[in-house]
Amino acid sequence: MKSLNLIEKLKNLLYIFQLEEYNIRRFLNWIKHHKVWLGLEKKKKLIWTTKAKLIFSLALSFWIISLLLLAFLFFSKFNLIFAIPLTLILLFIYFRFIYIFLVIAALVIKPLEQLIRKKIVWQAKQKLKKFPNLKIIGISGSFGKTSTKEFLYQMLSSKFKVLKTPGNINTILGIAYLILTDLSPEIEIFIVEMGAYKRGDIKEICQLVKPQIGILTALNETHLERFKSMENIIKTEFELIESLPQDGLAIINNDNKYCQRNYKRFLKSRVCFYSVEGEVASGLRARDIQASKDGISFEIIFKEGGSLKVSSTLLGRHNAENLLRAVAAAKECKMSLEEIKKSLENIKAAPHRLFMTKKANGITIIDDTYNGNPDGVKAAIEVLSEFKDQRKIYVTPGLVELGERVKEIHIEIGRNLAQVVDLVILIKNSTTPFLLEGLRQLNFLEEKILIFPDTFEMQKNLPSILRPGDVILFQNDWPDNYF
């Protein structure tokens, strides 16, 4: 029974290690805050990749071998009176610190893993050399990357054969695998979403794919906990713009203060600015933005001349910004204004990003569970405010990886919610007190706040909470490794 318990603990800890992307520092930090290591696979399950299998088998082997060696040493050195209690003590220690063997296993396979990684990236680079006419578009930024990618893909696919990075695949290895498996001679344009957790991540991706067009969406405090400072975030996200060739095109957000103040430090190519707030020196801007619960409409003004009226079922004023950068890239890919206009008519929201569905009982569900940044939350609350004749319900666990600004940002979210929604449902965790503080600062009624210990308990009670005609927005979804 104990051995089965041990294996289950090891498996659960490996699941957390995998969620932390095998980052040892973050894994040990999780261990520091959690003493229960069973029943951790709640929202998802451990994915038994080759790496996971190898780490698990090595960790278990190291644990058994080291325990047998210690037992042998004790029984050979001491008499039974001392050896048996000492062995029991060691057993307890080994069960309590079993996570160490996962760390050791990860360190042991790291050199091999790096060799394999280099080989895959090299193979992808060699394959790309066979496609000299392939147009490659890179997208970086703290938020808005996936929505921009999906909108641009839908637009370009009306005219070209397009490959995009699927889902949330945005790392060097994931992109390299995609190139090796899915890139074919008929592909004309490759759209690459670029993610980063540290300096150099985006630069490495750019060295692989060599984009000719770079879209910088916007910068904010997302992942500040990992990057430690806004300066590190700025330098990392601008690695895309810095990598562009002189005849390439950088598409930059003129409204975002971090983009606007810093682009001159990194720009080497041509530039196209976009704005929803005012004029731009070159590029395009949105005018007369109208947002409602049915979608958005606005006019795009091109600095070099011409305009385009846009009407879409996409929710939120912020999607005008996402569409602007997609339009700028489509225009650079030689799509005419007429072709762009036609492609915009059927643009659909990206899954889990303000994706709206209406139920037969009149309940409107807005799924924004993949949106986990402060600006995105502000936009989502603004969308909810458009449903003026319906009871508005907001469900959230809060945001993660905000570093030292976590309290300030969540208090602000609470204050914004207090001015818009009728019912707030919170999933209890470390951010809950800050959200409550923000709500209470504006005297939001306590009876309009519900707190559940986890998502499953919330989902179980939700049917008794909802009424016909309600609109409910689900904001962000914490993985099992956050607390």
User: Among the three residues 303, 319, 344, which one is the final residue of a domain in this structure?
Assistant: 344
Cα 329 to its chain centre, rounded Å, is 22
Same domain, 339 and 360: no
Alpha carbons 10 and 387: distance in angstroms, whole number = 48
Tokens of 92: 């307890």
**320 and 450 fall within a common domain:** no
Domain tally, the chain: 3
Residue 99 lies in a domain: yes
Pairwise CA distance, residues 206 & 7, whole Å: 41
**DSSP β-bridge partners for residue 108:** none
**Strand locations in 313-391, DSSP E?**
355-358, 364-368
Is the pLDDT reported for residue 3 higher than 70? no
Query: How many Cβ atoms sit within 10 Å of the Cβ of residue 144?
Result: 26
Q: Are residues 457 and 411 in the same domain?
A: yes
- Residues 405 and 90: their CA atoms lie apart, in Å, by 42
* Per-residue pLDDT band at 90 (split at 50, 70, 90): low
CA dist 351 and 150 (Å) reads 9
481 found inside a domain? no
Extended strands (E) in 103-225: 135-140, 162-164, 189-193, 213-216
pLDDT band at 173 (very low <50, low <70, confident <90, very high): very high
Residue 283 placed within a domain: yes
Judge whether 119 lies within some domain.
no
Q: Of 420, 419, 474, whose CA–CA distance to 452 is shortest?
A: 474
Q: Is 187 in the same domain as 209?
A: yes
Here the CATH number for the domain that contains residue 454 is 3.90.190.20
pLDDT tens, position by position, 327-360: 999 999 999 999 999 999 889 888 888 888 888 7
How do residues 397-429 score in pLDDT, each as one tens digit? 888 878 788 899 999 999 999 999 999 999 998
**How large is the average pLDDT for residues 97-123?**
92
Establish if 321 belongs to a structural domain.
Answer: yes
Residue 324, helix vs strand vs coil: helix
Give the range among 251-255, 260-264, 287-291, 374-378 with minimum mean pLDDT. 374-378
Give the Cα separation of 55 and 51 in Å (integer).
6
Give the DSSP per-residue string, 212-228: SEEEE----STTHHHH-
| Residue 322 placed within a domain | yes
- In 126-244 the beta strands, taken as DSSP E runs, fall at 135-140, 162-164, 189-193, 213-216
219 vs 1: which has the higher pLDDT = 219
Do 190 and 236 share a structural domain? yes
Residues 140 and 77 in one domain: no
Same domain as 160, residue 27: no
Q: How confident is the model at residue 86 (pLDDT cuts 50, 70, 90)?
A: low
Q: Do 263 and 283 sit in the same domain of this protein?
A: yes
Higher pLDDT, 455 or 437: 437
Residue 58 covered by a domain: yes
Residues 17 and 89 in one domain: yes
Domain boundary among 61, 81, 114: 114
Q: Which of 313, 344, 375 is the last residue of a domain?
A: 344
* pLDDT winner (highest mean) among 28-32, 302-306, 353-357, 441-445: 441-445
Q: What is the mean pLDDT of the chain?
A: 88
* Same-domain check for residues 176 and 263: yes
pLDDT of 2 higher than 60: no
Which domain CATH number covers 310? 3.40.1190.10
**Count of Cβ atoms closer than 10 Å to residue 471 Cβ:** 24
Same-domain status, 152 and 108:
no
> What percent of the chain has a predicted confidence (pLDDT) above 70?
93
For residue 117, list its beta bridge partners: none
Count of CB atoms situated within 10 Å of the CB of 204 = 15
Q: Which range of residues forms the domain containing residue 224?
A: 131-344
pLDDT at 77: 61
Residue 221 forms part of a structural domain: yes
Q: Using CA atoms, how far apart are residues 315 and 333, in angstroms rounded to an integer?
A: 26
With bands split at pLDDT 50, 70 and 90, how would you rate the model's confidence at 132?
Answer: very high
224 plus 264 within the same structural domain: yes
